[in-house]
Amino acid sequence: MAEAGGLYYEVHGPANAPALVLSSGLGGSASYWTPNVAALAKQHRVILYDHRGTGRSGPLPEGRVTVEDFADDIVQLLDALGIARASVIGHAAGGVAGLALALKAPDRIDRLIVINGWAELDPHFARCFDVRLTLLRHGGPRAYLRAQPIFLYPANWISDHSAALDAELEQQLAHFPDADTLSRRIAALRSFDIAGDLGAIATPTLLVVAEDDMLVPPHCARQLAAGLPRAQLGPLGSGGHACNVTRPDLFNRLVLAWLGQGDE
């Protein structure tokens, strides 16, 4: 098992290809990117990792955790692999980690793709966080994971993939973080607010947005687009919060085309 400073990671693709870090959402698992890795690794050196406190990585540090800490973990991973600069694709929590990285260490990031991300706490997904934590605390991990697809995927997709989702639940239970870890990760996401700093981010950024996202309203991506100097919206239409999972072929084509553009 590859490990760097307590972070589990995997590397896919040619060693001499441009580096591309994939950072998952709240669940934090590298396996989230399974529908995308093969396509992306044809042209990139793809680095996947489990967020600290999740999956096969070590625990969160003591004390308050911030999204800036998530960004520091990306830098630590790059340092361990001897990579000076990389592009980053981040889903939700991983996307805001990418934005924090672009603010904190812009010299380490080439291009950024944010999937259903945000600049500041929105009342809708704050409400969703509250509901999910209540489920976890009063119903336990199984109830939490049983409800998770409702927030991640469109209804028709859930119906069509119900058996696979049930099987996946059992695997997720084996690596599920404790309630305190999840609560602290959610607290970090709730406190993230760079609405007043968007103009300082010079990194070319693609904002992938699904209009039927049940968790993060699409107007959050449009707020980012309005404030980031070098942002482009990449609407997928439908696909839900985890649109790179539900529409992988379209997502992969969109991302590879944009990454291949070079500097604007």
Q: Roughly how many angstroms between the first and final C-alpha of the chain, as a whole number?
A: 38
Give the chain's length. Answer: 264
Domain range list for the chain: 3-259
Query: Beta-carbon neighbour count of residue 170 at 10 Å?
Result: 10
Contacts 24+ apart (CB under 8 A), 254-260: 254/206, 254/208, 255/36, 255/40, 255/89, 255/113, 255/206, 255/208, 256/39, 256/40, 256/43, 258/111, 258/113, 258/206, 258/232, 258/234, 259/18, 259/20, 259/43, 259/44, 259/87, 259/111, 259/113, 260/43
Tell me the C-alpha distance between 95 and 205, whole Å: 10
Report pLDDT for 264.
47
Render pLDDT for 90-113 as a digit per residue (tens, 0 to 9): 999 999 999 999 999 999 999 999
CATH no., domain 3-259: 3.40.50.1820
Q: C-alpha angle with apex 56: 53 to 61, nearest 5 degrees?
A: 25
Low-confidence ranges of the chain (pLDDT < 70): 1, 262-264
Tell me the C-alpha distance between 28 and 50, whole Å: 5
Nearest one of 127, 126, 149, 146 to 136, comparing CA atoms: 146
Q: Are strands 45-49 and 7-12 parallel, antiparallel or unpaired?
A: antiparallel
pTM: 0.96
Both structure tokens of 191 = 């406190």
Nearest one of 73, 119, 114 to 204, comparing CA atoms: 114
- What contacts 166, CB < 8 A, 6 or more positions away? none
Q: Please, are residues 194 and 220 in contact by the beta-carbon 8 Å criterion?
A: no
